[in-house]
Amino acid sequence: MTVDVSRHPLRSLTADRWAVAGGVTIVAFLLVAAAAPLLSGLAGQDPYTYDLNAVSDSGAPIGFGGGISADHWFGVEPMTGRDLFAIVVHGARTSFLVGFAATALSMLIGVVAGVTAGYFGGWYDRAISRFIDVMFGFPWLVFVIALGAIVPAAFPKQLLIILVIGLFGWPGVARVVRGQTIALRQRTFVVAATALGAGPGHLLRHQYLPNLVSTIIVYSTMTIPSMIGAEAALSFLGVGVPPPTPAWGRTIGDAVAWAPTDPMFLVFPGTALFLVTLAFNLFGDGLRDALDPRTIR
Amino acid sequence: MLLSVQDLTISFEAGGDLSEATRGVAFELRRGRVLALVGESGSGKSVTAMAILGLLPGTAAVRGSITLEGEQLLGAAPDRLRELRGGRIGTVFQEPMAAFNPVFTIGDQIGEAIRTHRRLTSAAVRERVGDLLGTVGLDDPERIARSYPHQLSGGQLQRSMIAMAISCDPVLLIADEPTTALDVTAQAGILDLLRELRGRIDTAILLITHDMGVVADLADDVVVLENGRVVECAPVARLFAEPAHEYTKTLLDAVPTFGATRPAPAAGAGILSIRDLVVDYSSRVRAVGGVSLEIAAGEVLGLVGESGSGKSTIGRVLAGLTPVTSGAALVAGTSPVTSTSPVTSTSPVAGISPVTGTSPAAGIDIARLARHPWRNARALRRARSGIGIVFQDPASSLNPRRTVADSIAEPLVLHRDLTVAQQRVRVGELLDAVQLPAAMGRRYPHEMSGGQRQRVAIARALALNPPLLIADEPTSALDVSVQARILALFRSLQDDFGFACLFISHDLAVVEQLAHRVAVMHRGLIVEQGSTEQVLHNPQHPYTQRLLAAIPVADPQRQADRRAARVPADH
């Protein structure tokens, strides 16, 4: 077995063409999200202003491809005539905010639960594991829809969505991290550190976490797209981000009804959602290969 | 000529680079002969065997010629190669446990091997399986055929594997390290079986091994490989009597041989006292059944035994890793702050003050503490600071994500109040003591060789200057020439540092080089203990005698005499 010692993780990542493409796409979307008001402002648009001149009496956009023009680069929303380009670029903000925040929340809970369960074992592990099983089987979608009806209207809807999908997203991470921790517990270098007299704090910080970091990072990049997808799904069902805040999922939900007459209304937000999730998955895949020091290429 | 390998060059392509595993390897093998391919890891001996079997991965490029009974094997059709494998060529692998499928019985698996090459009725297959298992010297072939792999011992499995390899009357038997995973008494039985089979079924054996004792016992001709090249090719008697090549000499010199034992040191204070130790892994499995041992300061006790004898369990108990059922393991209290002061000294050994051992009776009972590792965490930690441990496999005992310097500094971080600069100085001293350049500290374990990693593990174990070191088979994962250097280092470190040591090993020759006293374990009990001289040169217990007789000696003539004198070993 030969291992190339000169290869830095970053170098093997940049050698992976698909991972680079994924990374570039993610960065591009992040820039778009950050500069959303500027970008939509170039043509003098924002995602809230109605433009009833751009739609016919039946509500369908006037012109080619759902009303694509110099003013409306992606066309307009049927019925209201709001600028679709502004909606898509602002929608990226919602998707990233929810995706990152919910991922951070579920990774935090999942890693803490998984590492402690794997490390301490015994009744604590059994309790956590059973709880994870329950969480896996929990009909969270039904729960969230019901929750939407109960929570007071004053409670910020975006925060609620982050909390809900974050709090339901951690069991997968916890199970993976628990398994890895148990595997690490039997590795000789962990036994060696224990035999040197290392306590739980030292073991977790210096022996377990450095060997879990790549798993955590890779799992995070793989979780972000599923969180973005979950937010889109909730918005699609009408229990997600409330109007008029732009969200890809809700636009896609609206567009389904218009698909026969105005297909471009579905294509633009759909493509954005597809590109972002694919990009994160490609990047995560490349990251996993690059971060394992024993990966041989 | 049965098998003829000419100018065999195998290269692997990895990441655009071409690395050659063998260069111009050539040898010939006749019927009824045993040819040994000898070399250390990376010498290309296993790759050569895989090339004969046509089992190299797709990244390999092979040039040269391999002919079996005049038929060219390189570039032969896959169908033809499949026909040959298991038909004309039988193979015995290193790990019998891994080579069998755990969910089928032995009989089913041997039967399948037969049916692949011959059309027989199931009754005929069953009969043939029974015959084969009898041929390889297994009592009660019926029961073996009905058994699953996990129900058999390593020796029984390896015999079954040989039965499978000879099931279709091969003209060539390739044995890739056939006894490396086995205990020495089981190894002796397998070597006898192979020798007998060679005569009985008139097959040629290509033996791949790193063990010169095995070569001396079984081989007729020897091919020595170094870095993919044949450096010497000679009949076995001449190779051992007058090795022509420098590398062969090094290899032979590195083999630990029986000879002078270490004189016992002046009696020191007791460091370790184990009394009536009993360890049960479950209500049915008793790993250690009442063991008492004493180790004095500066003394090396060799604990020898075969796998499953409980010797490693004792090491784990002393590290506080395994709860005991009953008994005590008293470790002398450590003198607390001896090794913080000398960090500024430049000499690796100076400043490491001799440890003043107290009577172990006043020491800490690790066995009692380990029963409640959480409740006794603090006391256990203190006890552990006085014990260093070196594990068998250096590749897995170092954290792959931390630099070597970080690993060595770990005990200092845990038990000493040193500044980062002081730690760095101490790590430099320790690297120097194990004869590694200080720059190595920045490397990660996967950037080092096996021998270098084991040096690092030893440096870590000695970081706190512990009065007691536990070494659990520290050299058995290493090549023989590396092992010789590590043993020499270990011996000089022991002289300089003066730690007491529990040296656990299955290799009696290694133990003889290091230990002052030897204890022999068998099925959880110590059957004999005494000075090294006494136990290894004048053994009293029949098990010790059998163990010593089973070791193949790296000298064909002497080995033949020993074999003749040996009482038949049970398997």
Please choose, from the candidates B237, B98, B108, the residue with its C-alpha nearest in 3D space to the C-alpha of residue B164: B108
* Sequence letter at residue B530: G
A202–B414 C-beta distance less than 8 A: yes
Distance, C-alpha B95 to centroid of its chain: 13
Please list the pLDDT of chain B residue by residue as tens digits (571 residues). Answer: 889 999 999 988 766 677 888 888 999 998 889 999 998 887 888 889 889 988 888 788 888 999 998 889 888 888 888 888 888 898 888 888 888 888 889 999 999 888 888 888 889 999 999 989 988 888 888 888 998 988 888 888 888 999 998 888 889 999 988 888 788 888 888 888 888 888 888 889 999 998 888 899 899 999 999 888 999 999 999 998 888 899 998 888 888 777 666 776 666 778 888 888 898 887 777 888 888 988 988 889 999 988 878 888 898 888 888 888 888 888 876 443 333 333 333 444 444 444 444 444 457 888 888 888 778 888 888 888 888 899 888 888 888 888 999 999 988 888 888 888 889 999 999 999 998 888 888 888 888 888 889 999 999 999 988 889 999 988 888 888 888 888 989 988 988 888 899 999 988 888 888 898 999 998 889 999 988 888 888 889 999 988 888 888 888 888 888 888 775 544 4
Which residue in chain A is spatially nearest to B388 when comparing CA positions?
Answer: A196
- pLDDT band at residue A177 under the 50/70/90 scheme: very high
List chain A residues with CB under 8 Å of B446. Answer: 3, 5, 293-294
- The CA distance from A288 to the nearest CA of chain B, in Å, is 15
| DSSP character string of A66-111 | HH--SS-TT-B-TTT--BHHHHHHHHHHHHHHHHHHHHHHHHHHHH
- For residue A241, CA distances in Å to A150, A156, A211, A236 come to 16, 9, 38, 9
Residue A284's SS3 state is helix
For the segment A178-183, the average pLDDT, to the nearest whole number, is: 92
Does the residue A284 lie in any domain?
yes
Residue B341 backbone dihedrals phi, psi, to 5 degrees: -70, -40
Residue A86 pLDDT: 86
A18-32, A96-110, A180-194, B250-264: least confidently modelled range: B250-264
Cis omega (within 30 of 0) for bond into A244: yes
B411–A197 C-beta distance less than 8 A: yes
- Cα separation, A158 vs A143, in Å, equals 17
Residue B301's SS3 state is strand
Q: Which residues of A touch B (CB under 8 A)?
A: 2-5, 187-199, 202, 206-207, 210-211, 213, 293-294, 296-297
- pLDDT band at residue A293 under the 50/70/90 scheme: low
B387–A191 C-beta distance less than 8 A: no
Give the single-character DSSP code of A209: H
Which residue in chain B is spatially nearest to A120 when comparing CA positions?
Answer: B374
Residue B225 backbone dihedrals phi, psi, to 5 degrees: -110, 135
Cβ neighbours for B113, distance < 8 A, ≥ 6 positions apart: B86, B164, B167, B168
Q: What is the CATH number of the domain that holds A19?
A: 1.10.3720.10
The residues in B 91-110 lying below 8 A from A, measured between CB atoms, are none
- Closest partner residue to A210 among B391, B401, B460, by Cβ? B401
Expressed as residue numbers, the domain containing A264 is 7-291
Task: Walk across the sheet containing B500-505 and list its strands.
Answer: B387-390, B468-472, B500-505, B300-304, B517-522, B525-531
In terms of DSSP bridges, do strands B326-331 and B270-280 run parallel, antiparallel, or are they unpaired? Answer: antiparallel
Residue A32's SS3 state is helix
Give the single-character DSSP code of A2: -
SS3 of B117-164: the string is: HCCCCHHHHHHHHHHHHHHCCCCCHHHHHHCCHHHCCHHHHHHHHHHH
Is the distance from CB of A189 to CB of B399 less than 8 angstroms?
Answer: yes
B399–A189 C-beta distance less than 8 A: yes
Per the listing, tokens 């402002």 go with: A41
pTM: 0.77
- For residue B384, CA distances in Å to A199, B41, B317, B337, B370 come to 11, 35, 11, 15, 11
- The CA distance from A18 to the nearest CA of chain B, in Å, is 18
CB environment A238-267: b (16+ within 10 A), e (fewer):
ebbbeeebbbbbbbbbbbeebeeebebbbb
Does the residue A156 lie in any domain?
yes
Does the residue A283 lie in any domain?
yes
- Asked if B41 has any chain A CB less than 8 Å from its own CB, the reply is no
Residue B354's SS3 state is coil
Is the distance from CB of A72 to CB of A84 less than 8 angstroms?
Answer: yes
Query: Which residue would you say has higher pLDDT here, A294 or B133?
Result: B133
* Test mutation, A2, A189, A204, chain B, max B CBs within 10 A: A189
Cβ neighbours for B340, distance < 8 A, ≥ 6 positions apart: B416, B417, B418
Residue B344's SS3 state is helix
Residue B353 pLDDT: 40
| Dihedral over alpha carbons B102, B108, B110, B115 (to 10 degrees) | -130
Give the single-character DSSP code of B351: T
Does the residue A2 lie in any domain?
no
Per the listing, tokens 């593990």 go with: B457
Is the distance from CB of B547 to CB of B524 less than 8 angstroms?
Answer: no
Does the residue A70 lie in any domain?
yes
Which residue in chain A is spatially nearest to B412 when comparing CA positions?
Answer: A196
- Cα separation, B73 vs B439, in Å, equals 48
Please choose, from the candidates B258, B252, B249, the residue with its C-alpha nearest in 3D space to the C-alpha of residue B513: B258
- Cα separation, A253 vs B95, in Å, equals 59
- Cα separation, B46 vs B21, in Å, equals 10
- Cα separation, B324 vs B275, in Å, equals 12
Give the single-character DSSP code of B334: P
Residue B391 exposure: Cα atoms within 13 Å on the Cβ side: 20
* Test mutation, B20, B387, B399, chain A, max A CBs within 10 A: B399
Please choose, from the candidates B371, B318, B325, the residue with its C-alpha nearest in 3D space to the C-alpha of residue B504: B318
Cis omega (within 30 of 0) for bond into A171: no
- Asked if B446 has any chain A CB less than 8 Å from its own CB, the reply is yes
pLDDT, tens digit, 9 for 90 and up, residues A198-231 = 888 888 888 888 888 888 988 898 888 888 888 8
A195–B319 C-beta distance less than 8 A: yes
Look up residue B87 and give its two tokens: 């038909």
Cβ neighbours for B67, distance < 8 A, ≥ 6 positions apart: B1, B3, B4, B6, B73
Query: How many interchain CB pairs under 8 A, A with B?
Result: 80
ipTM over 0.95: no
Residue B507 pLDDT: 85
Task: Walk across the sheet containing B71-72 and list its strands.
Answer: B17-29, B3-14, B60-68, B71-72
List chain A residues with CB under 8 Å of B397. Answer: 188-189, 191-192
Of all residues in chain A, the percent with pLDDT exceeding 70 is: 95
Look up residue B202 and give its two tokens: 């008139």
- Cα separation, A105 vs A116, in Å, equals 17
- Cα separation, B570 vs B143, in Å, equals 18
Structural element, H or E, at residue A185? helix A170-185
Residue A61's SS3 state is strand
A188–B396 C-beta distance less than 8 A: yes
Per the listing, tokens 């929990």 go with: A138
Residue B264 pLDDT: 67
- Asked if B401 has any chain A CB less than 8 Å from its own CB, the reply is yes
Give B79: exposed, middle or buried? Use CB within 10 Å, 0-12, 13-18, 19+.
Answer: exposed
Look up residue B461 and give its two tokens: 């174990």
Is the pLDDT reported for residue A65 higher than 90? no
Residue B15 pLDDT: 64
- The CA distance from A193 to the nearest CA of chain B, in Å, is 8
Does the residue A122 lie in any domain?
yes
A294–B397 C-beta distance less than 8 A: no
Does the residue A53 lie in any domain?
yes
Overall domain count for chain A = 1
- The CA distance from B434 to the nearest CA of chain A, in Å, is 19
Please choose, from the candidates B94, B37, B440, the residue with its C-alpha nearest in 3D space to the C-alpha of residue B226: B37
Residue A285 pLDDT: 86
pLDDT, tens digit, 9 for 90 and up, residues A76-107 = 887 787 888 888 888 888 888 999 999 999 99
B399–A206 C-beta distance less than 8 A: yes
- Closest partner residue to B385 among A197, A206, A213, by Cβ? A197
Does the residue A100 lie in any domain?
yes
